[in-house]
Amino acid sequence: MTDRASSFLTSRRRFLERAGLGFGSLAFTSLLHQTGAVASSASATNPLAAQHPHYSPKAKAVIWLFQTGSPSQVDTFDYKPVLQKRSGEKLNGADPKTGFFTTTGKCLGSPFKFKQHGQSGAWMSELFPNLSQHADDLAFIYSCYSQSNNHTPAMLEMNSGMIRQGFPSMGSWVTYGLGSENTNLPAYVVMHGTKPRGNDPIWSSGFLPSVYQATALDPRQGKPIANLQRHAEMNDPQQRSMLDLLRASNRDHLKRRPFDSDLAARLESFELAYRMQTAAPEVFDVSQEPKHIQEMYGLNRPDSKDYGRQCLIARRLIERGVRFVQVFPAIPKTPGGGVGDVPWDGHNDINVNHRACASTVDQPTAALLSDLKSRGLIEDTLVIYGGEFGRTSDSQGGKGRDHNPHAYTTWMTGAGVKGGAQYGATDEFGYKSVEDRVSVHDIHATVLHLLGLEHTRLTYRFNGRDFRLTDVAGNMISEVLA
């Protein structure tokens, strides 16, 4: 919680109310308000009301470009010349069961050429000719690791900090802690193509109130948000009149249950849905953008148009005050092993698979960074890029790479990030993280810090315990911060 009413206080208030203390209970609640122990009247009636962070934030919004299926670190950003020289030779210490299937134990050199870019000298693969132009804006974290070698639990971990279902995603935690900066759109939006492995539980609000749940949508559809349009025979004044009557009845119902936060959240969601009927269609209508902007994002190219639309909409959303936007790339089925729900999953042929995926994401990702910068939005927007784990340095079947939870690369850029920073390291083959190892909890702690939230203080009481996104771990990665 961000210095708002804790759940144990809510439980005590319910006890006092049910115990029949009447005006004594009301007086007690008033006293709590005066001492700042509970939220203001605005946040009491609107759980999405903007909240004060723990300290001055660097970032106001987050765009998380989640590369589903997991790109190979040694084929994208973590250059390993020794792996190239030893290609085909035995990889000492290789475990054929590191991944989800079985590997050969023989080194597989990258089929892609690497080059240093910018003043930082960051090594980047030829897969990213557009993104490499932003090398000095990116902070690379080379030493990430996760707990699972399976897509679903690994994606759950990257989103919620836990490999099991039922825990709130980072977007839900951020929305709970900071509320919303807009009144006409959701605070937390997820865009996907084919839903990734694990489906909706990946971005679930878990045990947090459902008002903090993500609004998930597929921008490729004609109507990205289902059931948003009102009936054709009803005009706006008629609908507003009907909702006003319903709201009056609901508010009267709420007055008799003043401490039911779930009910207050449900009523607020009704009003948000009405306001979204006007705001949401405009946001998703990218045809309003100038032609050169659409082409900059790759909307004129068949392989990048869907992901480009996602990135362009992400910019339009945060421009209108949406707090947290998560993009699961809409990449069609790719050769070399990847399918729609795990496109970067290059089990069969890393060369074919990664060329196809990079052709989809390179131009739109670079366009998003350029666009944010030109509009001044990058100053308070944090952009995150990475997958749920890495890939093996030894081959699967000779040309592919299996899952590897021991090493992967994540980069950040934007608000509060030190452009050109390079943190951590894997071994000379890129097989395991060995220097300044970074856990998922560390990444989460760093993101929360940039948003002005101290990760150990962002808690929610559930089943008798104070839970937090970082569980009982997590350290801020100060070396990548400006």
Which position has the higher pLDDT, 44 or 22? 44
Beta strands 61-66 and 381-386, pairing class: parallel
Q: What average pLDDT does the segment 238-243 reach? A: 68
Report the C-alpha gap between 59 and 452 in whole angstroms: 8
- Out of 29-33, 196-200, 347-351, least confident range: 29-33
**pLDDT beyond 50 at 29:** no
Question: pLDDT tens for residues 1-11?
Answer: 554 544 444 45
Between the two ends of the chain, the Cα-to-Cα distance in Å is 26
Note whether 124 and 422 are within 8 A (CB): no
Q: For residue range 93-118, what is the model confidence (pLDDT) as tens digits?
A: 999 999 999 999 999 999 999 999 99
pLDDT higher than threshold 80 for residue 454: yes
State which amino acid sits at residue 322: V
In the beta sheet, which residues pair with residue 385? 65, 411
Whole-angstrom Cα Rg for the chain = 24
SS3 of residue 79 by DSSP: coil
The pLDDT of residue 7 is: 44
- pLDDT value, residue 252: 73
pLDDT beyond 50 at 271: yes
Q: How confident is the model at residue 333 (pLDDT cuts 50, 70, 90)?
A: confident
Mean pLDDT of 128-142: 98
C-beta separation of 386 from 408 below 8 A: yes
pLDDT of residue 182: 87
What domains lie within the chain, and their CATH numbers? Answer: 1-38 (no CATH), 47-237+272-480 (3.40.720.10)
DSSP 438: B
107-117 b/e (C-beta count within 10 Å ≥ 16 → b): bbbbbbebeeb
- Of 43-57, 174-188, 189-203, 250-264, minimum mean pLDDT range: 250-264
Which pLDDT band holds residue 278 (cuts at 50, 70, 90)? low
State mean pLDDT over 274-295. 84
Cβ proximity of 155 and 147 under 8 Å: no
pTM assigned to the model: 0.85
DSSP reduced 3-state for 340: coil
Q: What string of DSSP letters covers 125-162? A: ETT-TTGGGGGGG-EEEEEE--S-SSHHHHHHHHHHSS
Reported for 257-265, long-range contacts at CB under 8 A and 24+ positions apart, including other chains, are 258/17, 258/29, 259/10, 259/13, 259/14, 259/17, 259/29, 261/10, 261/47, 261/209, 262/209, 262/210, 264/44, 264/45, 264/46, 264/47, 265/47, 265/209, 265/210, 265/211
Whether residue 23 has pLDDT greater than 60: no
Q: For residue 415, which of 63, 72, 67, 177 has the smallest C-alpha distance? A: 63
**How much is the average pLDDT of 383-412?**
98
pLDDT the model gives residue 251: 73
Amino acid at 369: L
User: Angle between the 261-284 and 236-255 helix axes, to the nearest 10 degrees?
Assistant: 160
Q: Residue 255 above 80 pLDDT?
A: no
Count of C-beta atoms within a 10 Å radius of residue 230: 15
pLDDT score of 435: 98
pLDDT, one tens digit per residue, over 294-311 is 999 999 999 999 999 999
Tell me which residue of 329, 268, 277 sits closest to 303, measured CA to CA: 329
For the segment 359-366, the average pLDDT, to the nearest whole number, is 98
Q: How confident is the model at residue 268 (pLDDT cuts 50, 70, 90)?
A: low
pLDDT-derived band of residue 227, with 50, 70 and 90 as boundaries? low
pLDDT at 279: 64
> pLDDT tens digit string along 60-86?
999 999 999 999 999 999 999 999 999
Higher pLDDT, 132 or 27: 132
Whole-number pLDDT of residue 443: 98
Please check whether residue 298 is in contact with residue 364, taking contact to mean a CB–CB distance below 8 angstroms.
Answer: yes
What is the DSSP code (8-state) at residue 230? P
Rounded CA-CA distance 275/442 in Å is: 37
pLDDT at 91 over 90: yes
Task: Say what percent of the chain tops pLDDT 90.
Answer: 72
Q: What letter would DSSP give residue 289?
A: S
Q: For residue 258, what pLDDT band results from cuts at 50, 70 and 90?
A: low
pLDDT tens for each residue of 167-214? 999 999 999 999 998 888 899 999 999 999 999 999 999 999 988 999
Q: Write down the pLDDT at residue 265.
A: 60
Cα–Cα distance between 142 and 150 in angstroms, integer? 20
Average pLDDT, stretch 422-429?
Answer: 98
Q: Which pLDDT belongs to residue 21? A: 39
Residue 451 has pLDDT above 50, yes or no: yes
Q: Rounded mean pLDDT of the chain?
A: 87
Do residues 217 and 191 lie in contact, with contact meaning Cβ atoms separated by under 8 Å?
Answer: yes
CB atoms within 10 A of CB 328: 27
Q: Say if residue 432's pLDDT is above 90.
A: yes
Instruction: Return the pLDDT at 272.
Output: 63
